[in-house]
Structure 1
Amino acid sequence: MDFYGFYTGQEFEAYRFLGAQVQGDGSVVFRTFAPNAASISVIGDFNSWQGSDMHKIYDGNFWELTVPQVEVGSRYKFRITSQTGNTIDHCDPYGFGSEKRPHTASVVHSLDSYSFQDGAWMDRRGEGYQQPLNIYEVHLGSWQRKSDDPDDWYTYEELAQRLIPYVKECGYNYIELMPLAEHPCDASWGYQDTGFFSPTSRYGTPDQLRFFIDQCHQNHIGVIMDFVPVHFAVDDYALWNYDGTPLYEYPNTAVGRSEWGSCNFMHSRGEVRSFLQSAALYWLKEFHVDGLRMDAVSNLIYWQGDPGRGENRGAIQFLQTMNQGLKQRLPHALLIAEDSTSYSGVTRDVAHGGLGFDYKWDLGWMNDTLSYFQTPPQMRPQHYHKLTFSMMYFYQERYLLPLSHDEVVHGKATILQKMHGDYEEKFPQARALYCYMMAHPGKKLNFMGNEIGQFREWDESREQDWNLLRYPKHDELFRFIRDLNHLYLNHSALWQEDDREQGFRWLDCHQEERCIYAMERRSAKERLVFVFNFSNQTQDGYQLPVEGCTGLRLILSTEWEEYGGGVKRNEGFLPVLHNQVQLSLPPYSGLCLAVEGE
């Protein structure tokens, strides 16, 4: 390891030096960074948990011990005594495996025990921004469960057999996994971690997770993982007060504790930066994860996420160094920011002063859009701008449109429940919402359960209500979203020019009283036109302005009978006369039409 790089926050492979390193002769070299500890011993299955003293190496801030004949799968901890004489048994910050909660030991694991078979995927992945990106966000523990037993989860291997075919059928080409780093509390959803290099043992072993990702790739499904570089769990057996002093966190609670009660990382410390950068590279390199979605980036940009408290320059520099370093090592890795602020340059290259992300969640689009669909139809003319405002700023960053887990918890109601009106009214509006989402520039993300019209808010302890598919309205919504997703994947106009102004134009955005919107998407190969009526009235005799073609062919309607609407399927040709097409638009509806005869 480059020790100077470690101390200055430039190291990206600290995990190959620290932790439990399995050797070819069956021994394991245990190393940990604990500069202020008075003494450290390794305790584990291999010494009956009695402790074997470690010794200082290099500059005295690192501790090491080689233990012969340690089996892979052995449990261990570091018994750390502070300068004040307090002794606590800690899991390994760089441990590659961990016990299933509530147990807290680390587990010896080799990085070389799995052989990936995804070479074809790895050779072609990351072909650039001009590709489709349709993400299915998943919490593995509550997508499906074996039983009501709180610990009866499917394993990574079992999920590979169940989840991958479902994702392919539904028309998603990426899965985003909510955090899989080890965490003690189920209710944290994985966002308060104790093992940043250890896949949670709830669903199996590290190699079983590698198998899951390998199978995704062999089925042409990319994998993005949520990564939490902001904070960590307060449990005293993990990173908190690791060597008897605040080693990873701030020494004071004013900035040291987050709004969630967790410990904020002290990003101005080089050792902390090297730890987090190494963890990020670890998932991308050692597990073939295709991208990382960085959680709560606004809490890195600003102190405690509050612009009024000013920028956190140390954390900003950390993001720039990490993103630039990851791109240098793995140019095709996707780096996505969850950022709710208006900070400029999130997706700009670091070389040009930006943070270096590929995409930023467009939370403004999400808030405005959901607010609009919650508004009673008679009030929507006053809120017409909520569906046009996003295009005023859209090309300042590269955006991803998220309908994520955050929108279906804490009393916010599910996506379907947010739709205004009674049971019958909600479904056509949900179909129109998703059609509008696909028509709007930006990559896409949809949380599990949204596609079946989940009515109950998400609960990490229960699986999705799959029995809803026995009800016609929910089954019709599912089939509509499935077909819409495949339409997205198969039409380059919907993704090839996402981040360029030539890929989009409004055809009509001045129909406030009628709640009609019309837009065109285009690529080098095709032009698609979308028309929406978000009022609760049929809009007859609407004259759609369209130029440079002889006609339009209908390829999708949210109101076709097979999706629960009242219109028979008809993919007919509509001639353009004098640069106009006359349409009759049902209430709460959307149309997708292909431009022909250019």
Structure 2
Amino acid sequence: MDRDSIDHNIVKFHNGTLDDAYNFLGSHLVYDEGEIVGATFCVYEPYAINVCVIRDGCNPCSMNKISDEGFWFLYLPSVNEGDKYQYLITTQDEAEIIKSDSFAFYTTENKSVILDIEKYYEWYDEDYMHFRKNRNYQEEPLVIYELDINNWKKSITTYQDLSKELIPYLIEHGFTHVELISLLNEGILAPNSQFGEGKSLMSFIDECHKHNIGIFLDFPSAYFEDVIKGITKNNQNADLSEYLSILVSALSFWCLYYHIDGIRLNNLSDIIYFQGDISHGINLKGLKFLRTLNDRLSNLHPDILLIAGETIDFPNVTRRVCDHGLGFHYQWDNGWMKDILDFFEEEPLFRKYLSYNLNLSLMRPFSQKTIIPLAHTMFNIRKTALIKRMSGDLTERFQNLRVLIGLLFTYPCKKLLYMGNEFAQMNDYYSSYELDWYLYQYSPHILYNNYIKALIKLYREEKALYETDHSKSGFIWINQDHEEHSVFSYVRLSKNHKEILIIVINATPLLYKEYKLGVPYQGEFKEILNSNHEDFGGNHIVNDGIIATTEENYLGFKYTLKLCLPPLGIIVLKRTSN
């Protein structure tokens, strides 16, 4: 890289418009007639008085300070791909710090590795990448399996192991995407080296794409800490341009070189509001930073989903920046998670006093485009397994859990399920090194897992459950205020309104043998899912055969159905003819 190019990159870095800092910072091999002759090293250390490159078996080599702002540069001959190095930083108080390169493409045991990222891996997902460019996620099923690679299964020691065991598991259950937690812990560009090199991770992602499984990256909130410090209440004049160049470049790198399908960002309230508190007011500098970040990423990678990993109390989170939004495609609805869990943790006979929780959660899906998560954040403070948070004895807990998960998959939004909840994890999270895989030998957990598979299959097959997730025209309340009986029902419609589903939830332990339900549509209906079915661990209180409406006004609807509602159950009816 010549001096003019270096100076040009420095200017762009400082004004926040350098989108490919990974081509400038870090280490890069130099070729002459196809042969490696050396490598360049570049690092940004504005508060250092000296910086050296330390290679294994070599003496420290001092770098040249090439800008007053703090860029350091060095060319070294006789360097090979795979060589390891670190930086020795001398601070202004003459303390010495040894650290890895945050812009290295691979880091292991706190040592960065020199490699040529352009020749690192040959991809085979061209068809998938072409298909992705034309996707319309809003009208497609989206069900995400959230996985912490450190705690899923102790037999997983490499990305190859993950590919062999996880991908068949995802296919068996029907998940469309997997979100990886703990993937970044050794630099902003380097994957977790505990499971192998970056090329092994690329191969895993390639294999996922081969089976039409997308990959979401959980971007650690730690990388926003400097941004948050820069926009504290007393630092409104802080310049965030450099952080913008760093973060846009890093996220763009993962999109380009690892072919990820989406990015979840966290700690967003701390950026939007002073001290992360809405009562302290909006931080205009932070708001501009976030909008610019999302706008740049969307322009660079229009087929990548940007997900706000928290519920932000701010309008238009999921509208485009040009439409005065924040520029996210989706945001997590953590409020839904809290309201629903509060409801199902309560004893059924007292749930009528918490009916507003269920009503509230089901009345707000259309203000933003949301993902409803039964996610890891649910266990950050209370690490209790989900089934242990349900009320009642073990049988009733499974009944309640089936209703909760049924609500998740019939509710109008996209879905996310944290690992272990597909078979009812029993032990508290992080109390061991892996999930409770031994539970698959016990009938209640096997049957519950059958229920999860059936739900995901139903969700992916029925257009009414995903095509109109973000449109009021695809959702009709039937009885949202049936507080005394804690029975709730609603209609889901496909985009053309030809496919009609009716969902009925009985959140009490009472059996209703002839429950009268007013409905807005005439016709014949068939029960296509019942959480009380014997295949799912229930006692098989179901509605067999065809159920026809009668022309009888009831609670404001022209037609009526008579149903058998199992205790602590959810049923899904589909209109088969009108």
TM-score, structure 1 length as denominator?
A: 0.88
| Structure 1 match to 2:129 | 122
Pick one of 193, 196, 205 that aligns with 2:188: 196
Deviation larger for 9-18 or 361-370: 9-18
The amino acid across from 1:441 in the alignment is P
| Structure 1 match to 2:145 | 136
Q: 1:252 to 1:491 in 2, by over 3 A?
A: closer
The amino acid across from 1:32 in the alignment is V
CA–CA distance in structure 1, aligned partners of residues 508 and 394 of structure 2: 17
| Structure 2 match to 1:413 | 384
| Structure 1 match to 2:5 | none
Pick one of 210, 218, 236 that aligns with 1:226: 218
CA–CA distance in structure 2, aligned partners of residues 312 and 39 of structure 1: 36
CA-to-aligned-CA distance 1:121-153 (integer Å, 9 cap, x gap): 11111512111110000011211112xxxxxx4
Cα distance, 1:437 vs. partner?
A: 0.9
The answer to whether the 8 A contact 1:473-1:564 is kept is: yes
Q: Structure 1: any 5+ residue segments left out of the alignment?
A: 147-152, 184-194, 234-246, 257-265
The amino acid across from 2:185 in the alignment is E
Alignment partner of 2:318: what SS? Answer: coil
Deviation larger for 65-74 or 14-23: 65-74
CA-to-aligned-CA distance 1:189-244 (integer Å, 9 cap, x gap): xxxxxx111101011111111011111000110000101355478xxxxxxxxxxx
Pick one of 492, 502, 510 that aligns with 1:529: 502
Pick one of 243, 264, 268 that aligns with 1:272: 243
CA-to-aligned-CA distance 1:532-556 (integer Å, 9 cap, x gap): 1010111232112223332111111
The amino acid across from 1:109 in the alignment is L
Alignment partner of 1:487: what SS? Answer: helix
The answer to whether the 8 A contact 1:555-1:571 is kept is: no
The answer to whether the 8 A contact 1:179-1:225 is kept is: no
| Structure 2 match to 1:105 | 111
CA–CA distance in structure 2, aligned partners of residues 280 and 311 of structure 1: 25
| Structure 2 match to 1:301 | 272
Q: 1:570 to 1:505 in 2, by over 3 A?
A: closer
CA–CA distance in structure 1, aligned partners of residues 332 and 231 of structure 2: 31
| Structure 2 match to 1:587 | 567
CA-to-aligned-CA distance 1:277-316 (integer Å, 9 cap, x gap): 1111111111000000112222222233222333233322
The answer to whether the 8 A contact 1:76-1:105 is kept is: yes
Pick one of 148, 160, 178 that aligns with 1:157: 160
Pick one of 544, 548, 556 that aligns with 2:517: 544
The answer to whether the aligner puts 1:168 opposite 2:171 as a matched pair is yes
Q: 1:583 to 1:482 in 2, by over 3 A?
A: same
Q: Structure 2: any 5+ residue segments left out of the alignment?
A: 1-7, 552-558
CA–CA distance in structure 1, aligned partners of residues 426 and 94 of structure 2: 54
The answer to whether the 8 A contact 1:230-1:299 is kept is: no
CA–CA distance in structure 2, aligned partners of residues 86 and 35 of structure 1: 15
CA–CA distance in structure 1, aligned partners of residues 471 and 449 of structure 2: 31
| Structure 2 match to 1:190 | none
Pick one of 562, 577, 587 that aligns with 2:550: 577
The answer to whether the aligner puts 1:562 opposite 2:535 as a matched pair is yes
The answer to whether the aligner puts 1:29 opposite 2:40 as a matched pair is yes
The answer to whether the aligner puts 1:206 opposite 2:198 as a matched pair is yes
Q: 1:81 to 1:136 in 2, by over 3 A?
A: same
| Structure 2 match to 1:398 | 369
Query: Any residues of structure 2 matched to 1:234-313 within 5 Å, and which?
Result: 250=229, 268-313=239-284
CA–CA distance in structure 2, aligned partners of residues 50 and 460 of structure 1: 45
Alignment partner of 1:88: what SS? Answer: strand
Cα distance, 1:255 vs. partner?
A: 8.2
| Structure 2 match to 1:215 | 207
| Structure 2 match to 1:10 | 17
Cα distance, 1:563 vs. partner?
A: 0.4
CA–CA distance in structure 1, aligned partners of residues 78 and 451 of structure 2: 57
The answer to whether the aligner puts 1:356 opposite 2:331 as a matched pair is no
The amino acid across from 1:92 in the alignment is D
CA–CA distance in structure 2, aligned partners of residues 304 and 289 of structure 1: 32
CA–CA distance in structure 2, aligned partners of residues 434 and 117 of structure 1: 36
CA–CA distance in structure 1, aligned partners of residues 178 and 238 of structure 2: 29
The answer to whether the aligner puts 1:67 opposite 2:76 as a matched pair is yes
The answer to whether the 8 A contact 2:233-2:274 is kept is: no
The answer to whether the 8 A contact 1:372-1:380 is kept is: yes
Cα distance, 1:272 vs. partner?
A: 1.4
Task: Please report the RMSD computed on the Cα atoms of aligned residues, expressed in angstroms.
Answer: 2.3
Alignment partner of 2:167: what SS? Answer: helix
Alignment partner of 2:363: what SS? Answer: helix
| Structure 1 match to 2:154 | 145
Q: 1:70 to 1:251 in 2, by over 3 A?
A: same
The answer to whether the 8 A contact 1:346-1:354 is kept is: yes
Q: 1:509 to 1:432 in 2, by over 3 A?
A: same
The answer to whether the 8 A contact 1:230-1:295 is kept is: no
Cα distance, 1:275 vs. partner?
A: 0.7
Pick one of 85, 88, 92 that aligns with 2:97: 88
CA–CA distance in structure 1, aligned partners of residues 533 and 379 of structure 2: 28
The amino acid across from 1:419 in the alignment is M
CA–CA distance in structure 1, aligned partners of residues 336 and 324 of structure 2: 25
CA–CA distance in structure 2, aligned partners of residues 564 and 229 of structure 1: 40
CA–CA distance in structure 2, aligned partners of residues 251 and 323 of structure 1: 19
CA–CA distance in structure 2, aligned partners of residues 253 and 310 of structure 1: 12
| Structure 2 match to 1:239 | none
The amino acid across from 2:509 in the alignment is N
Alignment partner of 1:510: what SS? Answer: coil
Q: 1:182 to 1:255 in 2, by over 3 A?
A: farther
CA–CA distance in structure 1, aligned partners of residues 150 and 43 of structure 2: 31
CA–CA distance in structure 2, aligned partners of residues 323 and 460 of structure 1: 37
Q: 1:228 to 1:303 in 2, by over 3 A?
A: farther
Q: 1:561 to 1:119 in 2, by over 3 A?
A: same
CA–CA distance in structure 2, aligned partners of residues 348 and 291 of structure 1: 17
| Structure 2 match to 1:339 | 310
CA-to-aligned-CA distance 1:543-587 (integer Å, 9 cap, x gap): 122233321111111011010011177762211111211001011
Cα distance, 1:22 vs. partner?
A: 2.2
| Structure 1 match to 2:483 | 512
CA–CA distance in structure 1, aligned partners of residues 449 and 314 of structure 2: 37
Cα distance, 1:3 vs. partner?
A: 3.2
CA-to-aligned-CA distance 1:21-44 (integer Å, 9 cap, x gap): 123332221111123322211111
Query: Any residues of structure 2 matched to 1:354-393 within 5 Å, and which?
Result: 354-393=325-364
TM-score, structure 2 length as denominator?
A: 0.91
Identity %: 33
Q: 1:570 to 1:119 in 2, by over 3 A?
A: farther
